[in-house]
Structure 1
Amino acid sequence: MENIFINNFSEYDQPDLYDVENDGWNEDTLFIEQWAKKQEGMVIDLACGTGRTAIPLAKQGISVIGVDLHEGMLNKAREKSEQQNLSIKWVNQDITELQLDVKSSLIYMVGNSFQHFLTNESQNLLFSSVSNHLLDNGLFIFNTRFPSKDELMQPETEEYWRSYTDHLNRHVEVSTIAKYNSILQIQDYITIRRFKEASGQIAETRSSISLRYTYPQEMDRLLDKHGFEVVNVYQDFNEAPLTTEAYGMVYVCRKVGQK
């Protein structure tokens, strides 16, 4: 299968920057921790990145395997876990072709990583890989953005998003340009980061990413096809019920066997 993820790598090519922009977010980690503490054995973190959720789980005494395709992100995760003397197995694999020597009662994938699976084929391969590595009645927890009108019908012009101080102590202004293809259900984003250099000049970097949006009824059919039942679906990690005003969808699914 052609690797469909390579074109999305530019957003993850600076692991230190990724941590600055994302480490303050922990609601998904706390949610996963609640479920992980109810399970026995190894937990598998798919698209684990720099270990944002795996490392806190390991600190709680939970055994974790982290899997990611991006070697740079994994190297950062490895460095961070070694600095904290944590025993976490980091695996560099395409998770649509997962080959681990373990089965788990809990596999999770957060950070809206589900949106990186841009085709029907890749979504099918993902669920097959997960099912192959889950014990009977094991759980798969993942999240993805909700395909709301506000999310998909953004103007195709530059829009301010946020600002922060980066790992080099620079004030960074972030904006995005989004373009949605309603046939493919894929939104192409350009992320623009502007900051002042030591010389006083304003510098700019750009990265691109493509994200697929999946509708709730479509997701239900996809999960059923691959032998999963939906235990719960929420609009956030605080377990609020899913509504048409949602920005996200959080699925807790149980493997019930292939059909």
Structure 2
Amino acid sequence: MNNNLEEYSDPISYDIENDAYTGELNFLTEWAIKQGGPVIDLACGTGRMTIPLAQKGFELIGVDLHAGMLEHAKKKAEDLNIQIEWLEQDCTALQLEQKSPLIFMVGNSFQHFHTNEHQNLVLRSIHNHLENDGVFIFGTRFPTMDELLQPSTEEYWKTYTDTVENKKVDVYTTSDYNPLEQIQHYTTIRKYMDDGNVVEERKTNISLRYTYPKEMERLLSENGLDILHVYEDWNKSPLCKDSDEMIYVCRKGRNCLVKGTRNPIK
């Protein structure tokens, strides 16, 4: 999945644009209190959720494939004098030295696993690293008609201020959905403004897999994960046909042998 990392090439800019969002924090805190640690944050990026959970006193392990994002996360944690174990690993083939009672994957990172094979691999890898009765929490975008049929022409998304370059940034997107692969190909255009004029334009590309609710039920079940709850947001609102997200809380099934897996942890 290295070809899908363009959006994360500038960790500092990524943080400026995304770090203020902490919508998952209360939800994850509640489950960390229930489950205990160590808590594993998969596809942790620059530590957007890893660091605030560690600040609350939980033991955290942050795992990501992107070395640059991890380096930035490490520096942020060091500046705050927070102890977190950071590991550069592929989530489809985790080789951790311990199991966890709670693993989570936020930021719609599950959509980076494009094929059925990769979806199975990441879920089997998670299953192998959960303790008995361990919980896996993740979110992914809901494949509504509005979500999938976004325009192929530039559409305004949002505006934020780049505090490093001291410029307002208008963000636009274009998209192209491939229904055979269930993959949405996005281009994000960031227009850096100065006195109302565009002084620079930066484009990044990313491709995201959409999974339907009934498809997800079977996928999780076949990989040894029992669904405890499904919500439309991190405030525990019930999922409905007009939802934007699907938030899953799953428990590792008891006495479950996942086909084709071998647990590397003794």
Normalised TM-score (structure 2): 0.93
1:100-119 mapped onto 2 (5 Å cutoff): 100-119=96-115
Distance 1:222 1:201 in 2: 45
2:76 is equivalent to residue 77 of structure 1: no
2:250 is the counterpart of 1:253? yes
Alignment partner for residue 231 of structure 1, among 228, 231, 235? 228
Residue 258 of structure 1, CA deviation = 2.7
Residue 41 of structure 1: how far off its partner (Å): 2.7
Task: Name the aligned partner's letter for residue 223 of structure 2.
Answer: H
Q: 1:193 aligns with which of 190, 194, 199?
A: 190
Partner of 2:172: 175
* 1:118 aligned counterpart, secondary structure: coil
- Residues in 2 aligned to 1:61 and 1:94: alpha-carbon distance in whole angstroms: 26
> How many Å separate the matches in 2 of 1:24 and 1:105?
27
**1:222-256 deviation line (CA, Å, top 9, x unaligned):** 01101111000000001000000000000000001
Asked whether 1:93 is paired with 2:92, we answer no
2:133 counterpart SS class:
strand
How far off its partner does 1:152 sit?
0.2
SS at 1:129's partner residue?
A: helix
Offset at residue 54 of structure 1 (A):
0.5
In structure 1, stretches of 5+ residues that fail to align are: none
Spell out, residue by residue over 1:178-228, the C-alpha distance to the aligned partner (whole angstroms, 9 max, x if none).
Answer: 000000000000000011369x76210100000000000000000110111
CA–CA separation in structure 2 for the residues paired with 1:76 and 1:197 = 28
CA contact (8 A) 2:50 2:60 kept: yes
- Residues 186 and 211 in structure 1, CA contact (< 8 A), matched pair in contact too: yes
Letter of the 2:230 partner, please give it.
Answer: V
Contact 1:197–1:203 (Cα < 8 Å) also in 2: no
Instruction: Decide which of 124, 149, 161 is 2:145's aligned counterpart.
Output: 149
Identity level (%): 54
CA RMSD in angstroms, aligned pairs only: 1.2
CA deviations 1:100-120 (Å, max 9, x no partner) are: 001000000000000000000
In the TM superposition, residue 31 of structure 1 has moved relative to its aligned partner by 1.0
Question: Which letter maps to 2:205?
Answer: S
| Contact map agreement 2:160 2:168 (CA 8 A) in 1 | yes
Give the match's secondary structure for 2:135.
strand
- Cα pair distance change 1:50/1:243, threshold 3 Å: same
Q: Secondary structure at the match of 1:27?
A: coil
For the residue of structure 1 that corresponds to 2:5, the secondary structure is helix
* Residue 6 of structure 1: how far off its partner (Å): 1.3
Structure 2 unmatched ranges of 5 or more: 259-266
Ranges of 4+ aligned residues in structure 1 off by more than 4 Å: none
Displacement, 1:44? 0.4
Instruction: Confirm or deny that 1:64 pairs with 2:60.
Output: yes
Verify: 1:38 aligned to 2:30, yes or no. Answer: no
Does the CA contact (< 8 Å) of 1:138 and 1:254 recur in 2?
Answer: yes
